[in-house]
Structure 1
Amino acid sequence: MKKLLLSLGVLMLSLQASAQFYSKDAPFAHTYSIVARDTVTGEMGVAVQSHWFSVGTSVAWGKSGVGVVATQSFTNKSFGPRGLTLMKNGLTAKLAMDALLEVDEGRGVRQLAILDASGNVAAHTGKDCIEAAGHYVGNNFSVQANLMEKASVWPAMAKAFEETKGSLAERMLAALEAAQAEGGDIRGKQSAALLVVGAENTGNEWDDKLVDLRVDDHATPLKELRRLLNIQQAYQYMNAGDVAVEKGNIKEAKKMYQKAQQLNPENVEMKYWYAVTLANNKEFEASKPVFKGVFEKDRKWQQLLSRLKKVNLLLITDKELKELEKL
């Protein structure tokens, strides 16, 4: 009971201190979005697309171990940080949403979705949101849209999310792509964003976001967002490879580096560090053609060899170094 009273006290202070009422100056974010939680990993996320510049900076909010918020239509940006604070202090998604809307005179033009770390979901579509507008709350997710070409957009999003396999980020992106295929924003498309946070609070703000990708202005933002997600996944494999090297597991490192290259085959740096790993693992002959391919793209990577050897990051002989410098 004391904890609940404390949370309610924090709630009232938060709302009184920063209540933001509807005004004609409120930023637009007529859009479609999804908030969702992976029931296996506990990861939570928000994904959004709109015909508006830099939509992710207004709509998508999240904090590891706490929850996520999507605030759109005539956007009340304060719903993001305030909603997260309320959930951090013990309120469920529904209680947090009700508290935010209670003191908001613009609730009729707001669209809001909140998901907490337990998977509770709450959504609101104001009666004055521009048609087609609506939302659907499913198991550990909610899809919401306004100013859509047709009312079948958000049901298509829900179907895609439920039927797609893969990571939370991939499933949410699939929901956005389904919305666009169904007609999407009646005005077209311009920006998109993808945010994923962890199931637990690490205590480190700098580690809070597992995925944080934005396309602020692009002719095909979802296509660009998928490209960026693939690159991020490739670098995650690179990082895993680096960790494997540190642990002396060269076989695992090579496997991770190869997966990274498969996702991002044009990235010469990934090939370069793969070649370095081969050379350091006494597979010098195998490393040579990989190095050669990199050097043909950019000779500056060749200049880096002696610098790496100097600090013992490239474990080859002077003779082998000269051989690589002649490639």
Structure 2
Amino acid sequence: MNKIYFLLVFLITQPLFAQSYKKSEPFTHTYSIVARDSVTGEMGVAVQSHWFSVGSVVAYGQAGVGVVATQSLVNPSYGPKGLVLLNQGLTPQQALDVLTENDKGEMYRQVAILNANGDVATHTGSLCIDEAGHKQGRNFSVQANMMLNNTVWDAMAFAFENTKGTLSERILATLKAAENEKGDIRGKQSASILIVNGIATGNSWEDTIMDLRVEDHENPIQELERLVKIHNAYDFMNKGDLAMEEGNSKKAEDLYLNAQNLFPENLEMQYWYAINLLNNKEFDKATPILKAIFVQDKNWQILTSRLVKSKLLTISTSELEKIMKL
């Protein structure tokens, strides 16, 4: 018996994969994208809808396996089950066929699946509320339903294909393009973005690159973009912390400065940049920054003396005394 055929028969007959339409399933009429960065191999799924916490029911991903967006009268089980099928070696189209052929409510579903090779499969059920449709391209699929206009998915595809930058930047541009076409006929409420590694490291804390949600907001795409920027700033902070731990204060200084440039109003990013200036004996640059921070919040001054004990600040006793008098 053909191996794939046997696998399909096995999966279909398991209770885990029994599916049926339920009136209680959320009405997450929405627009979304599944996409892969051909350079880094990263895979992402993002979504926006006039529905509370849309990311919690629509977006699924697993490093080294793929990403899934399941929406319209959403069957949330499509997410985890789709990833299981991909992990078993099925193509996105084969996985999608298994899911829809055993779902009595498939005509209400809209689903997109992308694997680590960038292969995609998309289903827009015949009873999805107009305007509904999808468009596939190399390494991506965009899909939407209950839109005000039928131009949404074409605009999304154009934006993704013609935007330069990181995967998150291209995905955000895609969501903005949908909103520029008036998006969901009901308006807007929540959004999310999930990005995972193209190759699994085996460490779950490293495999998810970005996982951000805007649960309820008057302008969720704008808020999501703000969170992505802050996320990138803290990514530099995390790398700066690691450099400090390794004793490479010059590298840490550069990383903290990158973080500060992305999020200049954040006191903590200013603070750690200044601390590493002290470690690099650049006192003239560090002291005015620290003085401004201490004026706003004295607790940072208290923390400074504690860093010496933890060997994260390597200055003399006399130098520390000067800092504590700022």
TM-score higher than 0.5 here? yes
Q: CA deviation at 1:9?
A: 5.5
- What are the superposed Cα offsets for residues 245-268 of structure 1, whole Å, 9 maximum, x if unpaired? 445544433222211111101111
What corresponds to 1:305 in structure 2? 304
Give TM-score, length-normalised by structure 1.
0.95
CA distance in 1, matches of 2:23, 2:114: 28
Percent of paired sites with the same residue: 57
Q: CA deviation at 1:23?
A: 1.7
What corresponds to 1:225 in structure 2? 224
CA distance in 2, matches of 1:17, 1:48: 26
Total equivalences in the alignment: 326
Unpaired runs of 5+ in structure 1?
none
What corresponds to 1:38 in structure 2? 37
What corresponds to 1:189 in structure 2? 188
**What letter corresponds to residue 175 of structure 1 in structure 2?**
T
State the secondary structure of the residue aligned to 1:72: strand
| Closer/same/farther in 2, CA of residues 181 and 98 from structure 1, 3 Å limit | same
What corresponds to 1:8 in structure 2? 8
CA distance in 2, matches of 1:260, 1:301: 18
What corresponds to 1:82 in structure 2? 81
Q: CA deviation at 1:18?
A: 3.4
**What letter corresponds to residue 8 of structure 1 in structure 2?**
L
Unpaired runs of 5+ in structure 2?
none
User: Retained in 1: the 8 A contact 2:250–2:276?
Assistant: no
More displaced 10-residue stretch of structure 1: 243-252 or 31-40: 243-252
Q: CA deviation at 1:315?
A: 1.1
CA distance in 1, matches of 2:212, 2:10: 32
CA distance in 2, matches of 1:21, 1:178: 34
More displaced 10-residue stretch of structure 1: 296-305 or 43-52: 296-305
CA distance in 1, matches of 2:126, 2:109: 9
Q: CA deviation at 1:6?
A: 6.3
Give TM-score, length-normalised by structure 2.
0.96
State the secondary structure of the residue aligned to 2:182: coil
What corresponds to 1:178 in structure 2? 177
State the secondary structure of the residue aligned to 2:52: coil
Q: How does 1:114-263 map to 2 (within 5 A)?
A: 114-263=113-262
What corresponds to 1:63 in structure 2? 62
User: 2:278 aligned with 1:284, yes or no?
Assistant: no
What corresponds to 1:25 in structure 2? 24
CA distance in 1, matches of 2:308, 2:239: 23
What corresponds to 1:314 in structure 2? 313
User: Retained in 2: the 8 A contact 1:48–1:56?
Assistant: yes
Q: What do you get for the CA RMSD once the two structures are aligned?
A: 1.6
Q: CA deviation at 1:299?
A: 1.1
